[in-house]
């Protein structure tokens, strides 16, 4: 997994359009017309019995043919082996290789010795949406359109997330290219795809799919928490959540914040469901709402609790939420997780078949449905501490292990892909405990924080061991990560560098900074601007809405590239940029015109800032990373390869994540000539 960009979401979530009770009269009138219509139909059938009988026979024949086709199409092919692919996000060679040498990852070591292990070349840029899309399609970003977490519309300079597309209450697929599970489905190979990124809405596979990264919370964002506190706050603006100041009393009336509802005659507004918090004693409260009442103790997570929001006439949106009581005295602090869709009754379809999420909930209990479920920004903002975060991430892993066990116990042939994101999250949040040079390093920190990353690699090894017990000699098991990891010590403001070097101009000449979403940029004088986590775009005439760069574009790119590669951090006397890539050398395809013109590959320790991602222009050029999000992989891709393990021998010296798609096709019976005709950017490893 990667950066939870919902927390700096450029969109405000979806809006549900609600019809009010004033339409009841109109509906009643329509019902009357329908009754009259059907009465006339019945009278017609009585007068024309022959035609009616003939029509019924035709319908019966068509129904029988359809039933036969459906029955025939549901029959499995003759694929009698198992292919199990474990996607473990963010596993890094720099961590794995020493741990294997020390005997701490016995199952990975066994897979290496009896099969193969390679460092896996990641995508450029090394971001999870980009890399997992490349894995599943075998195509580079200019063919799929996934270049970054943040995408821009050059005609308007508007920004949007690349993870999902929910507009006017409808969900549309982001990825248009065919993915490997669609090819296995074509061959009627039983296929199970669990939590693969960018699978919302789910595809109709020959088997089951549970959507992953991209599934929003009930607000339509990628994860918005709620925090109630009695502490006096100077600034209530919180990234990734909604913070409410309340008066600490024995009984408090609070609200669940639901989706935005828009009626015919009113603006969109959040619908709310009230709940009460009643203090039982110094350490415990009662949470009371609707037909629910339960106790919650300081330092304790609740289980999943159901909550419903009225979003229309006779219509409700159902969600599930978890509570964490951080403190009662001297101040009251209560955290509510982002409200997930209830897997038993999700408002949008999050699985295929539609009832598969309900089936899982009935067998393993309630679980996170939000695509990026770990609330890292609540930790960044100090709303959750490290202990609470570890408990939450452990819960995520427990849920995933239950789903995996459920699938393995009924998996006898076909292909199973299963994604684990917690290995990525734990490194993002706890890297500062293993890097003595990080500005937040604490030598006196608790031991469980210092060992958290290594502990998680061992947890992944244990999972691998359990899965290996389910495969036979003829079966295939693959374990891969989409990228590696490293330390994130200094945040780089690319737009500020462009400003200081004369390539970007602010509207206000006396201003030293500009707001997010490119709001304060003077496009009539700006030649280049930065977005996302390393992308730089020329303000190209004929492409951008107010473009001014014409024939000098190539010279301008070269000039910016050369200057960036000489940029030195004066505080540490270190070079910031490893390499600047020209867009045309790393992106090729029919969507190349949407690609960044330059992509900055940073040295480890330096990363594009959150402000850069959202198109802001801070006053300073660099700053220490003082957020708990301290590990990352948004560096030069050459510095953060992933890993690939397989129980089959591989003789290739170099392997790329683009090679995985053609390899899977080869393993599932597609021949070389067919694969070659697909215009993929990798090659089969067999």
Read off the pLDDT of each residue in 21-50 and give the average, rounded to a whole number: 58
What's the pLDDT at 33?
A: 61
Q: Give a three-class secondary structure readout of 399-454.
A: HHHHHHHHHHCCCCCEEEEEEECHHHHHHHHHHHHCCCCCCCCCCCCCHHHHCHHH
- Split at pLDDT 50, 70, 90, the class of 280 is very high
| 3-state class (DSSP) for residue 213 | coil
Taking residue 659's Cβ as centre, other Cβ atoms within 10 Å add up to 24
User: ∠ CA(577), CA(581), CA(584), 5° rounding?
Assistant: 170
Listed range (47-56, 123-132, 647-656) with the worst mean pLDDT: 47-56
Listed range (129-133, 265-269, 570-574) with the worst mean pLDDT: 265-269
Whole-number Å distance between alpha carbons of 347 and 345: 7
What's the pLDDT at 3?
A: 46
CB 487 within 8 A of CB 437: yes
Is residue 16 over pLDDT 80? no
What's the pLDDT at 2?
A: 44
Per residue in 506-541, pLDDT (tens digit) is 999 999 999 999 999 999 999 999 999 999 999 999
CB 521 within 8 A of CB 506: yes
Per residue in 593-649, pLDDT (tens digit) is 999 999 999 999 999 999 999 999 999 999 999 999 999 999 999 999 999 999 999
CB 254 within 8 A of CB 286: no
Read off the pLDDT of each residue in 333-349 and give the average, rounded to a whole number: 97
Tokens of 478: 């693959």
Nearest C-alpha neighbor of 149 from the set 626, 632, 582, 603: 632
Tell me the whole-structure pTM to 2 decimals.
Answer: 0.91
Whole-number Å distance between alpha carbons of 581 and 596: 10
* Element at 32 (helix H, strand E): helix 24-47
Beta strands 333-336 and 340-341: pairing type?
unpaired
Is residue 23 over pLDDT 50? no
Listed range (73-87, 239-253, 363-377, 508-522) with the worst mean pLDDT: 73-87
Is residue 658 over pLDDT 60? yes
Taking residue 24's Cβ as centre, other Cβ atoms within 10 Å add up to 11
Is residue 4 over pLDDT 60? no
Return the higher-pLDDT residue of 60 and 173: 173
Cα–Cα separations (whole angstroms), residue 40 to 33, 79, 570: 11, 54, 86
Tokens of 193: 């795809």
What's the pLDDT at 64?
A: 54
What is the Rg, in whole angstroms, of the alpha carbon atoms belonging to the chain?
27
Beta strands 486-492 and 605-608: pairing type?
parallel
What's the pLDDT at 644?
A: 98
Mean pLDDT over all residues of the chain?
Answer: 91
- To the nearest 10°, the Cα dihedral for 281, 282, 288, 292? -80
Q: Is 498 exposed, middle or buried (0-12, 13-18, 19+ CB in 10 A)?
A: buried
| 3-state class (DSSP) for residue 633 | coil
- Split at pLDDT 50, 70, 90, the class of 400 is very high
User: ∠ CA(339), CA(345), CA(350), 5° rounding?
Assistant: 80
- Split at pLDDT 50, 70, 90, the class of 30 is low
Nearest C-alpha neighbor of 644 from the set 634, 631, 658: 658
Whole-number Å distance between alpha carbons of 362 and 42: 44
Whole-number Å distance between alpha carbons of 477 and 540: 47
Give me the DSSP letters along 80-98: -SEEEEEEETT--HHHHHH
| 3-state class (DSSP) for residue 64 | helix
Is residue 86 over pLDDT 60? yes
User: ∠ CA(194), CA(120), CA(590), 5° rounding?
Assistant: 75
* Element at 199 (helix H, strand E): none
What's the pLDDT at 166?
A: 77
In the chain, the percentage of residues whose pLDDT exceeds 90 is 82
What's the pLDDT at 523?
A: 98
- Split at pLDDT 50, 70, 90, the class of 36 is low
CA 60 to chain centre: 46
CB 652 within 8 A of CB 116: no
Read off the pLDDT of each residue in 180-200 and give the average, rounded to a whole number: 98
Nearest C-alpha neighbor of 618 from the set 527, 510, 536, 511: 511
Read off the pLDDT of each residue in 453-470 and give the average, rounded to a whole number: 98
Question: Looking at the DSSP assignment, which residues form a beta bridge with residue 477?
Answer: 84
Report whether the peptide linkage leading into residue 459 is cis, meaning its omega lies within 30 degrees of zero.
no
Q: Is 359 exposed, middle or buried (0-12, 13-18, 19+ CB in 10 A)?
A: middle
CA 521 to chain centre: 30
Per residue in 463-504, pLDDT (tens digit) is 999 999 999 999 999 999 999 999 999 999 999 999 999 999
Residue with tokens 């709402």: 289
What's the pLDDT at 5?
A: 44
Buried b (16+ CB within 10 A) or exposed e, 53-87: eeeeeeeeeeeeeeeeeeeeeeeebebeebbbbbb
- Split at pLDDT 50, 70, 90, the class of 430 is very high
What's the pLDDT at 170?
A: 80
């Amino acid at each position: 997994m990667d950066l939870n960009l919902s927390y700096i979401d450029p969109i405000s979530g979806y809006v549900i359009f609600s019809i009010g009770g004033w339409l009841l009269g109109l509906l009643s009138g329509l019902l009357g017309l329908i009754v009259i219509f059907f009465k006339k139909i019945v009278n017609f059938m009585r007068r024309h019995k022959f035609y009616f009988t003939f029509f019924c026979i035709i319908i019966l024949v068509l129904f029988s043919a359809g039933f036969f086709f459906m029955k025939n199409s549901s029959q499995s092919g003759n694929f009698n082996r198992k292919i199990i692919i474990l996607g473990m996000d963010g596993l890094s060679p720099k961590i794995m290789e020493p741990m294997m040498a020390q005997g701490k990852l016995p199952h990975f070591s066994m897979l290496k010795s009896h099969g193969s292990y390679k460092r896996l070349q990641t995508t450029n840029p090394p971001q999870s949406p980009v890399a997992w899309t490349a894995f599943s399609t075998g195509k580079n970003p200019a063919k799929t359109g996934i270049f970054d977490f943040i995408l821009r519309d050059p005609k308007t300079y508007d920004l949007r997330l690349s993870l999902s597309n929910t507009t006017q209450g409808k969900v549309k697929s982001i990825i248009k290219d065919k993915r490997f599970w669609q090819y296995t489905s074509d061959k009627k190979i039983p296929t199970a795809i669990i939590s693969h990124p960018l699978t919302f809405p789910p595809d109709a596979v020959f088997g089951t799919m549970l959507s992953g990264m991209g599934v929003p919370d009930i607000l339509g964002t990628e994860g918005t928490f709620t925090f109630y506190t009695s502490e006096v706050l100077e600034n209530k603006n919180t990234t990734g959540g909604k913070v409410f100041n309340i008066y600490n009393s024995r009984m408090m009336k609070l609200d669940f914040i639901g989706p935005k509802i828009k009626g015919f005659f009113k603006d969109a507004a959040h619908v709310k469901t009230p709940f009460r918090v009643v203090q039982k004693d110094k350490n415990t409260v009662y949470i009371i709402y609707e037909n629910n009442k339960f106790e919650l103790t300081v330092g304790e997570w609740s289980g999943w609790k159901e909550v419903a929001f009225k979003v229309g006439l006779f219509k409700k949106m159902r969600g599930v939420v978890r509570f964490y009581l951080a403190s009662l005295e001297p101040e009251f602090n209560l955290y509510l997780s982002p409200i997930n869709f209830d897997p038993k009754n999700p408002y949008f379809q999050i699985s295929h078949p539609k009832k598969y999420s309900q089936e899982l909930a009935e067998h393993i209990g309630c679980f996170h449905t939000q695509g990026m479920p770990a609330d890292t920004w609540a930790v960044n903002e100090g709303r959750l501490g490290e202990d609470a975060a570890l408990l939450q991430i452990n819960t995520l892993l427990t849920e995933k292990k239950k789903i995996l066990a459920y699938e393995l116990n009924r998996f006898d042939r076909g292909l199973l892909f299963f994604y684990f994101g917690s290995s990525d999250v734990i490194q993002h949040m706890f890297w500062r405990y293993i890097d003595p040079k990080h500005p937040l390093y604490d030598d006196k920190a608790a031991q469980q924080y210092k060992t958290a990353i290594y502990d998680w690699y061992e947890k992944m090894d244990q999972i691998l061991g359990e899965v290996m017990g389910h495969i036979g000699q003829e079966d295939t098991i693959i374990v891969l990560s989409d990228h590696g990891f490293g330390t994130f010590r200094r945040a780089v403001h690319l737009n500020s560098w462009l400003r200081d070097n004369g390539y970007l101009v602010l509207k206000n000449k006396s201003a030293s900074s500009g707001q997010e979403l490119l709001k304060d940029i003077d496009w009539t004088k700006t030649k280049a601007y930065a977005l996302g986590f390393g992308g730089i775009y020329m303000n190209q005439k004929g492409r951008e809405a107010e473009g001014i760069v014409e024939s000098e574009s190539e010279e301008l790119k070269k000039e910016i590239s050369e200057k960036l590669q000489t940029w030195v951090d004066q505080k540490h006397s270190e070079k910031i940029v490893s390499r600047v890539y020209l867009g045309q050398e790393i992106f090729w395809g029919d969507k190349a015109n949407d690609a960044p013109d330059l992509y900055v590959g940073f040295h480890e320790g330096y990363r594009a800032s959150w402000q850069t991602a959202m198109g802001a222009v801070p006053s300073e050029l660099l700053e220490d990373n003082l957020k708990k999000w301290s590990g990352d992989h948004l560096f030069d891709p050459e510095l953060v390869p992933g890993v690939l393990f397989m129980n089959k021998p591989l003789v290739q010296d170099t392997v790329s994540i683009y090679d995985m798609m053609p390899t899977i096709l080869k393993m599932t019976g597609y021949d070389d000539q067919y694969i070659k005709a697909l215009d993929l950017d990798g090659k089969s490893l067999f």
